[in-house]
Structure 1
Amino acid sequence: MDKNLVDALAAAPLAKLKNAPILLTQGDVLNTYAEGELKRLGVKTVYVTAGEQVITKKVLERLAELKIKVIPLGGKDRFETAVNLAKEMGSFNKIVVATAGSNADALSISSIAAAKGMPILLSEAGKIPTQVKNYIDSIGSNVNQTYILGGEGVSADAVKNAVPNGIRIGGKDRFETNLEILKFFANDLKYSKVYLANGEDKHLVDALTGAPLAAQTSSPLLLTGKALPGNSKEYAKLNLGPNVIALGGESSVAKDVLQELQSSLVYSVDGMDAGSADPAKVESLANTVKITGKNVSLKNAKTNYSVYIHGDNALLDNVTIGGTLFIDPGAHGTANINNVKAGKIVVLSGAKESIHLRNTKAGTLLVSSSSEVRVESSGTTRIGNTVVNSYVILDAAGGTLGTVEVVSADGQEPVVILKAAFNAGVVYESAKWVFSTKLYDNELEVADFDILKEAYLNHGIFRGYTEITDDEVYKGDMKAFEVFEELSDAEKEILIAYLDDTFDANDGIVGNAYRINTVFEEMRKWELESAIWVPESGLSNSNSQNSPFVIEDLTLSMNYNENIKAPSVDL
C-alpha cells in the first residue's frame, strides 16, 4: 500500500457521516479523475486527510480555484490525522484502535466502523502514542467500548489495557482477522450485498475507497488474496449471500475468485418445483441456492451452504440448510418456511403479513429488514435467540422465538411490536414499551402477552394491561404517570389519540412509581378510546390517526396533528 495512503486509513467513518465519497489524488496535482468527480457532484466542501507534505499547497490552490472550501485534517503523522478525523465526527460511545502498521486490519472494519459511527484511531504495536492517548483520555467518560484489532503479535496487551473497556478482535493473519470482525459484528450487518476486496498491501486502496460504499448499506467487506483463502470461502458460503461485488478490476480481484463466491444453484422460473417429490429421498444440493422466481417451491432437499430467497411467495418444505437462510422477497413479498432446519435465518425484507415460520428450527433469527415486516412462528418452531435491528412485528403464535434482543444499527432505532407469548426474556439496549397500535423510532409495543421469564425493562414504559407473572422482572429506572394531575384540561385533551384499545380500571404501570388505578378511573370518565402519557421531554406525534401523542417531561408543544380531534369532555 502506498505509504501516503495511510493518512486516509481512518477516513471511512467520517466519509459515511458526511455522506461523501473518498477521492484519491496525486500529492502534487489534483488529478483529472478527482477533479471531474468534484465537478460532477457539485462539491462545496472537501476534507483533506493529509498534511501539506503529502498533499501539497498546489492541490489546495486548485481546489480554491474551483470555489471549494477546504477543511484540512492532516496531522504531522498518521496518528494525529486519525485523531483529527475523530474530532470532526462529534460524539460517539465506541471506538476502534488499529495498529498503524497493519493497514488491512483497519480496512477490514472500516465499513462497519463507518456504518456504526465509530472512529478508527491508530496505535503502535506496543503502545498508544501520546497524542492518541491524550485524546482517548479526554473522551474516556463517554466511551463504553473499545475494539482492539489484531492478535497480541500485532497489538500488545499494553494497548488493550490503556483504553476504556477494550475487547480484542483478531486472528493469526489479516484474513482471519477479517473473518473474526465479520463474526463479531454479524448482527449489525445487512446481507443483501457483499463487497470483496484484495487484502494484500498493494491492493488495499480499492478497499479503502470502497468502504464508504459498503457502509451505505451496512454490508460485509470480505478480504481475499490472489486466491480466496479456504476459511474465507467456507465462511462466505455459509454466512454471506451470493450477491458479491468486487472492488477493483481483475488485477485486484481475479475473475475466478469472484465467480467462486457468486456461483449458486439458481431457481429462476416462476412456479417451478425443485427438490425431491419424495420426503424419504431427500435431494442433496452441492452449492449455494438462490431463488429468484415467483411461487417457487423447494421441497425435500438439503445443502451444506446457504439459501437466498429473492423471489416472492417462495415455499421451503422439509429443507435442511447447513448455513444461513436469507429471506429477501421485497417490500411486498412473502415467504413460507415449513419444516426447515438452518444454522441461522436472516430476514432482509418482506410485507406486513409476510414471513411464516412453521415447525422450523434455527439457532438465530436476525431481522434486519428494509421494510415493515411481520415474522410469525407457529407449530413447533424453535429459535434459539432473535436479534432485531429494524421494524418488525414478531408474532409467536406457536413455538418460540427465544430471547429477543433489540439493537440499534447504522444510527437507526428499531421499531418492534411483540405479540403472543414470549417464554424467554426480552433484552434491549434502550427502548420504550408504550401504548400504541403503530410505533415509531425506538418504541416497543408489548401487546397481549405475558412475560414468563426474566425481562430487562430499563428506561422504558411498560404496557399497563400486560400481566407480569414472574417475580424476576427487573423494573429498573422506569417512568410512570405520577405527574398526570399537573396537566391542564386543555393539555389533557391534546393527549387523546384514536387507538384500538380501551383502558381497564385494573391497568397499572410498573417502575419507580405507584400503580395508578385511580388515574385510569378518572380517564374512564372522559370516554376516551385510548391515550398515552410518557414523562420524558417535548410533545410529538406521528401524523397518523392511529398513533399516540408522546409527552416527554411534560414540556408541551401545540404542534399536534390537527386531523386528530379531541372529543368534548366535562371535567
Structure 2
Amino acid sequence: MSKRAKMAFTLIIILAVCGFGIKFYLDENYLSQYNRKQIIGLDRFETMTKISEIGWKKSDEAVLVSIHSVIDGVSASSFAYQKNIPIFFTDSEEINSTVKDEIKRLGVKKVYLIGGDKVITNDIKKELKKMNINSERIGGESGFETSILLAEKVNKLNPISEVVLVNMRSGKPNGVAIAPAAANRNIPVLMVNKSDRKETLKFLKEHNIKKVYLTGSETAFPDVFEAMLKDEKYGIKADVVRLNGEDRYETNKEIIKEFYDLDKINHIYILRNGIYNYGDLLNALALSPIAAKENTPILYSADSLQKTEEEFLQESNVKNITEVGFELVRPRIITDKIIRFISSITIVVVWILALKRIIYNR
C-alpha cells in the first residue's frame, strides 16, 4: 500500500470514528439540562394503562371513549377530573384486552360510555355486563350534544361560570391542549360546529356564563359570533378571551400563558402533536385528569423539540419534563443516513485497497 493510500485510509477511519463518537456524545447529552422521565407503552393502550397506574391505585368508576372520537375525549376531561376517575380509549365494538386488565386491576364497578351507540356500540355495554360492571351512557346525536350533556354533569358536580368553546372540525388539537387547564378550573369544553351556535348561546344564557374562551381564529369562531357572546340582546354578557396562534404549537403556548403562572411552572408534559398520528392526541386526553390534578400543562412537540419550544421551556424555567407516548430525540445534524454513508464508503475503500494489495503481491 502506498503512503498516499495509507493516509487516505487512515483519514477515512478517523472520520468514521469521529462521526460515531460525535453522534453518541450528542445523543447522550440531548436535553441533559432537564430531569427527564417517560411514560411509554408498546402501543397507545399500554401507554394509557401506564398513565392510569400512575394516577390511581383503585377507582370505582372510569370513563370509556372510542379511539375514533377525540372530540368526546376532550368533552369528557372535565367530567373525569371532577369525578377523579381515569379515561380510557378503546375500539368501538370491543374493549382492548390491555384496557380490560387495567379496569379489573382498579376494581371498577361502573363505566361511563361517552358518545352515542354508533360511536361506542352496545357491544361494549354487553362486554362490561359480563364483567359484572354497570355502565351509563352519556351521549347525544352529535359530538356537540354529547359535550352539552357532559357540561351538565360537570355543572351538577360543581356549578360552572365559565366555558371553553372548540371548533369541532378544525380545533381538536386546541381542545386537547386546553383540556387539563379547563378541567382544573371546573370549566366544561363544548365542541361546536357552525350549526350549533344557536344552541350554544342558549346554553350560555341558561347557565349565566360569565366568561367564554374561544380557541381558534376568526375562521373557527367569527367576530360576529364573538360579539353575540358580549351582547345583552342575546341574554349574555360574558368576558371573551380568544386563544389563537399561527398553528397548534403557538395556540398551545397561548393556552399555557393564559392558565398557568410561567414563573412557577417546574414540570411539563411533552406530547406529540398529532399531525401525523391521530392516536397521539389520545395519550394527552388519557393524561388530562392527572395533568389537571397536578395543575401541570402539556406542550406539543415533534419528534425533537423545535427552537420555539426550547425557548419557551427556558423562559418558563422548567426543570422537569415527562415525555408521554414517545421519546424525544436529538435533531439529526449528523444523521443516521450520513453515518451509514461514511461507513459504506469506508468499507468500499478498504476492499479496494485490499484488492490492490493482493494484485500487487502477485
**What's the TM-score once normalised by structure 1's chain length?**
0.42
C-alpha displacement of 1:46: 1.2
Q: Which amino acid aligns with 1:255?
A: V
1:120 to 189, 194, 200: 189
1:74 is aligned to 2:144: no
The separation in 2 between residues aligned to 1:219 and 1:189, in whole angstroms, is: 13
Q: Which amino acid aligns with 1:104?
A: P
* 1:49 aligned residue: 114
C-alpha displacement of 1:189: 9.3
C-alpha deviations, 1:149-197, integer Å up to 9, x for none? 1122332223323333221111111111111111112239963421111
Contact 1:191/1:240, CA 8 A, preserved across alignment = yes
Q: Which amino acid aligns with 1:56?
A: T
Contact 2:211/2:239, CA 8 A, preserved across alignment = yes
* 1:211 aligned residue: 288
Cα distance change of structure 1 residues 100 and 215 upon mapping to structure 2, 3 Å threshold: same
1:228 is aligned to 2:305: yes
The separation in 2 between residues aligned to 1:212 and 1:235, in whole angstroms, is: 24
* 1:199 aligned residue: 273
* 1:494 aligned residue: none
**What's the TM-score once normalised by structure 2's chain length?**
0.65
2:124 to 59, 64, 72: 59
Contact 1:13/1:110, CA 8 A, preserved across alignment = yes
* 1:103 aligned residue: 172
The separation in 2 between residues aligned to 1:40 and 1:209, in whole angstroms, is: 17
Counterpart secondary structure, 1:10: helix
Contact 1:86/1:121, CA 8 A, preserved across alignment = yes
* 1:247 aligned residue: 324
* 1:161 aligned residue: 227
The separation in 2 between residues aligned to 1:52 and 1:70, in whole angstroms, is: 13
Q: Which amino acid aligns with 1:181?
A: I
* 2:42 aligned residue: none
The separation in 1 between residues aligned to 2:319 and 2:101, in whole angstroms, is: 33
The separation in 1 between residues aligned to 2:115 and 2:246, in whole angstroms, is: 31
Identity rate of aligned residues, in percent? 27
Q: Which amino acid aligns with 2:245?
A: G
Counterpart secondary structure, 1:17: helix
Cα distance change of structure 1 residues 152 and 54 upon mapping to structure 2, 3 Å threshold: same
- 1:292-307 equivalences under 5 Å are none
The separation in 2 between residues aligned to 1:239 and 1:151, in whole angstroms, is: 25
C-alpha displacement of 1:132: 3.1
The separation in 2 between residues aligned to 1:3 and 1:60, in whole angstroms, is: 17
Cα distance change of structure 1 residues 247 and 130 upon mapping to structure 2, 3 Å threshold: same
1:178 is aligned to 2:252: yes
Contact 2:304/2:329, CA 8 A, preserved across alignment = no
1:93 is aligned to 2:161: yes
Flag as ranges the 4+ runs of structure 1 deviating above 6 A. none
Cα distance change of structure 1 residues 226 and 52 upon mapping to structure 2, 3 Å threshold: same
Counterpart secondary structure, 2:141: coil
The separation in 2 between residues aligned to 1:82 and 1:66, in whole angstroms, is: 28
* 1:187 aligned residue: 261
Contact 2:70/2:281, CA 8 A, preserved across alignment = no
Contact 1:190/1:219, CA 8 A, preserved across alignment = no
C-alpha deviations, 1:370-424, integer Å up to 9, x for none? xxxxxxxxxxxxxxxxxxxxxxxxxxxxxxxxxxxxxxxxxxxxxxxxxxxxxxx
Cα distance change of structure 1 residues 45 and 189 upon mapping to structure 2, 3 Å threshold: farther
The separation in 1 between residues aligned to 2:316 and 2:264, in whole angstroms, is: 11
Q: Which has the higher helix share?
A: 2
Q: Which amino acid aligns with 2:225?
A: V
* 1:237 aligned residue: 314
Contact 1:79/1:129, CA 8 A, preserved across alignment = no
The separation in 2 between residues aligned to 1:233 and 1:188, in whole angstroms, is: 14
Counterpart secondary structure, 1:11: helix
1:7 to 66, 69, 72: 72
C-alpha displacement of 1:127: 6.1
Counterpart secondary structure, 1:238: helix
C-alpha displacement of 1:38: 1.1
> Structure 2: any 5+ residue segments left out of the alignment?
1-65, 230-237, 332-362
> Structure 1: any 5+ residue segments left out of the alignment?
258-571
The separation in 1 between residues aligned to 2:201 and 2:103, in whole angstroms, is: 35
The separation in 1 between residues aligned to 2:249 and 2:195, in whole angstroms, is: 24
Cα distance change of structure 1 residues 26 and 212 upon mapping to structure 2, 3 Å threshold: same
C-alpha displacement of 1:209: 1.3
Cα distance change of structure 1 residues 69 and 173 upon mapping to structure 2, 3 Å threshold: same
C-alpha displacement of 1:129: 3.5
* 1:273 aligned residue: none
* 2:215 aligned residue: 149
The separation in 1 between residues aligned to 2:179 and 2:262, in whole angstroms, is: 14
The separation in 2 between residues aligned to 1:74 and 1:111, in whole angstroms, is: 21
The separation in 1 between residues aligned to 2:140 and 2:294, in whole angstroms, is: 30
Q: Which amino acid aligns with 1:100?
A: M
Contact 1:171/1:177, CA 8 A, preserved across alignment = yes
Q: Which amino acid aligns with 2:90?
A: T
* 1:134 aligned residue: 202
